[in-house]
Amino acid sequence: MIKLSNLYDDFRDSQTIRSFASIIAKDAKKLKKSINIMEVCGGHTHTIMKYGLPQLLPDNINFVHGPGCPVCIMPKERIDHAYILSEQNDVILITLGDMIKVPGSRGSLQSARASGADVRFVYSPMECLTIARDNPDKKIIYFAIGFETTTPMTASLLEAVIKQDIKNIFFHINHVTVPEAMELLIDSDDSCIDAFLGPAHVSVITGSKIYDIFPKKFATPVVVAGFEPVDMIQAISMIVKQFAEQRCELEVQYKRLVSFEGNTIAQQKVAKYMQVADKFRWRGLGDIPGSSLELREEYARYDATKIYKDILPNKPIDDHKLCKCGDILKGAGSPLDCPIFGTACKPNTPIGSCMVSSEGACAAYYKYGGDI
Segment 46-56, tens digit of pLDDT = 999 999 999 99
| pLDDT score of 184 more than 90 | yes
| 269 belongs to a structural domain | no
301-323 mean pLDDT: 92
Distance of CA 30 to the CA centre of its chain: 34
At 247, the pLDDT band (50, 70, 90 cuts) reads: very high
Strand partners, 220: none
Q: Please give the backbone phi and psi of residue 282, each rounded to the nearest 5 degrees, phi first.
A: -90, 135
| 267 belongs to a structural domain | no
pLDDT of residue 1: 47
| 344 belongs to a structural domain | yes
| pLDDT score of 266 more than 60 | yes
At 43, the pLDDT band (50, 70, 90 cuts) reads: very high
pLDDT of residue 358: 76
Which residues form the domain of 344?
Answer: 325-368
pLDDT of residue 347: 85
Q: If you ran DSSP here, which 8-state letter would residue 346 be given?
A: B
pLDDT of residue 352: 82
Cα first-last separation, the chain: 39
Q: Which of 103-107, 263-267, 367-371 has the highest mean pLDDT?
A: 263-267
Last residue of a domain, one of 261, 281, 307: 307
- Go through the chain and tell me how many residues it has: 372
| 118 belongs to a structural domain | yes
pLDDT of residue 369: 78
Q: Are residues 303 and 335 in the same domain?
A: no
Cα(279)–Cα(235) distance, rounded to whole angstroms? 32
Count of structural domains, the chain: 2
Q: Please give the backbone phi and psi of residue 66, each rounded to the nearest 5 degrees, phi first.
A: -115, -170
| 92 belongs to a structural domain | yes
Higher model confidence: residue 43 or residue 372? 43
Q: Given CA atoms 174, 342, 43, 184 in this order, what sign does their dihedral have?
A: positive
The percentage of the chain sitting over the pLDDT mark of 70, rounded to a whole number, equals 97
| pLDDT score of 192 more than 50 | yes
Nearest one of 35, 33, 54, 51 to 43, comparing CA atoms: 51
pLDDT of residue 5: 57
- Judged by average pLDDT, the poorest of 28-37, 102-111, 235-244 is 102-111
pLDDT of residue 371: 46
Cα(273)–Cα(152) distance, rounded to whole angstroms? 10
Q: Are residues 81 and 142 in the same domain?
A: yes
pLDDT of residue 116: 96
Q: Are residues 97 and 141 in the same domain?
A: yes
Higher model confidence: residue 350 or residue 80? 80
| 119 belongs to a structural domain | yes
Q: Are residues 115 and 148 in the same domain?
A: yes
Model pTM score = 0.92
> What are the CA-CA distances from residue 227 to residues 91, 128, 238 (Å)?
37, 29, 15
243-254 mean pLDDT: 98
| pLDDT score of 210 more than 90 | yes
pLDDT of residue 82: 97
> What are the CA-CA distances from residue 80 to residues 108, 109, 313, 339 (Å)?
8, 9, 8, 25
**pLDDT tens-digit series, residues 7-22:** 678 899 999 999 999 9
pLDDT of residue 259: 98
Q: Are residues 299 and 330 in the same domain?
A: no
pLDDT of residue 163: 98
255-276 mean pLDDT: 98
| pLDDT score of 134 more than 60 | yes
| pLDDT score of 40 more than 60 | yes
| 243 belongs to a structural domain | no
67-84 mean pLDDT: 91
Cα(351)–Cα(6) distance, rounded to whole angstroms? 39
| pLDDT score of 101 more than 80 | yes
Cα(214)–Cα(35) distance, rounded to whole angstroms? 16
| 149 belongs to a structural domain | yes
Cα(80)–Cα(230) distance, rounded to whole angstroms? 40
Q: If you ran DSSP here, which 8-state letter would residue 318 be given?
A: P
Q: Are strands 293-295 and 169-175 parallel, antiparallel or unpaired?
A: unpaired
At 139, the pLDDT band (50, 70, 90 cuts) reads: very high
**pLDDT tens-digit series, residues 57-75:** 999 999 999 887 888 899 9
Note whether 243 and 35 are within 8 A (CB): yes
Last residue of a domain, one of 258, 276, 307: 307
pLDDT of residue 4: 53
Mean pLDDT computed over every residue of the chain: 93
CATH number at residue 148: 3.40.50.11740
